[in-house]
């Protein structure tokens, strides 16, 4: 999760000017706050997450120590493939996350029956990725979701309406799961060429190749 800093800067005559930073990583936010404190001119330093929750420096240091061993800084790539002839979908997901001082990647796929359209396969792939996050124990974190289906991402953002009953049912499932996990989602549309890994996993699922692999990124 990223955080922004808010602090007051003392100028002559005891006047104070308030400053705000951009959202940055927890480690960088703590480093900046510590450097501001050393100047002796900064006061009322607060950290805010993307949900608006605030902490002081001491609390922030304790918080980062507590979450260090849990999965965090999560990015998810998803893709769904569809065979019209068999009404089957291949679901592919790639999850990047940090845990402790290490970085990991999960590559996973699943074959899903009784699909109606490619758009439904994309929704099913997104939901499949959420299930992986649930198994990882992800709770109350920001997660970025990347995919090449603008339909899914724009409808999840609420920017595009959804008129199909089947897709609306998937929307409801996804929104309920996101709420249950306390996830703050960020949706990023990417080009198909930038989603090759998730696409390949979806294709492999349709070919009958089941994959679930966790690896450390060096």
Considering the domain architecture, whether residues 93 and 188 belong to the same structural domain is answered as yes
Per the structure, the count of domains in the chain is 2
Clarify whether residues 46 and 85 are in a common domain: no
pLDDT digits (tens, 9 = 90+) for 154-174: 999 999 999 999 999 999 999
- Say yes or no: 148 and 200 in one domain: yes
62 with 76, same domain? no
Residue where a domain terminates, one of 51, 67, 83: 67
Query: pLDDT value at position 89?
Result: 96
**pTM given for the model:** 0.77
Please check whether residues 208 and 128 belong to one and the same domain. yes
**Which of 42, 67, 92 marks a domain boundary?**
67
117 and 165 within one domain: yes
Regarding whether 194 and 145 lie in a shared domain, the answer is yes
Tens of pLDDT along 63-111?
887 777 789 889 999 999 999 999 999 999 999 999 888 899 999 999 9
Question: Do 59 and 91 belong to one domain?
Answer: no
What single string gives the DSSP state of each residue in the chain? -EEEEEEEEE-GGG-EEEEEPPPEEHHHHHHHHHHHHHHT-EEEEEEEETT--EE-HHHHHHHHHHHTTS-EEEEEEEEEEEETTTTEEEEEEEEEEEETTEEEEEEEEEEE-S---HHHHHHHHHHHHHHHHHHHT--S-EEEEEES-HHHHHHHHTSS----HHHHHHHHHHHHHHHHHT-EEEEEE--GGGGHHHHHHHHHHHTT---EEEEEE-
- Same domain for 36 and 140, yes or no, is no
d(Cα 199, Cα 205) in Å, to the nearest integer?
10
Same domain, residue pair 123 and 197: yes
Residues 153, 97, single domain; the answer is yes
Domain that holds residue 77: 72-217
């Amino acid at each position: 999760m990223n955080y922004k800093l808010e602090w007051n800067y003392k100028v002559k005559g005891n006047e104070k000017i308030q400053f705000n930073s951009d959202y940055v990583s927890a480690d960088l936010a703590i480093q900046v706050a510590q450097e501001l404190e050393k100047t002796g001119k900064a006061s009322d330093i607060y950290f805010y997450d993307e949900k608006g929750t605030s902490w002081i420096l001491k609390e922030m240091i304790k918080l980062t120590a507590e979450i260090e061993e849990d999965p965090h800084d999560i990015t998810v790539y998803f893709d769904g493939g569809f065979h019209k002839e068999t009404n089957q979908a291949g679901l592919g997901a790639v999850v990047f996350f940090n845990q402790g001082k290490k970085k990991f990647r999960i590559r996973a796929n699943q074959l899903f029956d009784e699909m109606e359209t490619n758009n439904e396969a994309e929704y099913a792939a997104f939901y499949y990725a959420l299930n992986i996050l649930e198994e990882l124990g992800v709770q109350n974190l920001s997660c970025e979701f990347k995919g090449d289906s603008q339909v899914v991402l724009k409808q999840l953002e609420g920017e595009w309406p959804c008129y199909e009953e089947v897709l609306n049912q998937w929307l409801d499932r996804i929104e309920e799961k996101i709420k249950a996990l306390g996830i703050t989602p960020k949706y990023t549309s990417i080009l198909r060429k930038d989603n090759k890994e998730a696409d390949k996993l979806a294709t492999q699922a349709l070919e009958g190749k089941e994959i679930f692999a966790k690896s450390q990124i060096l």
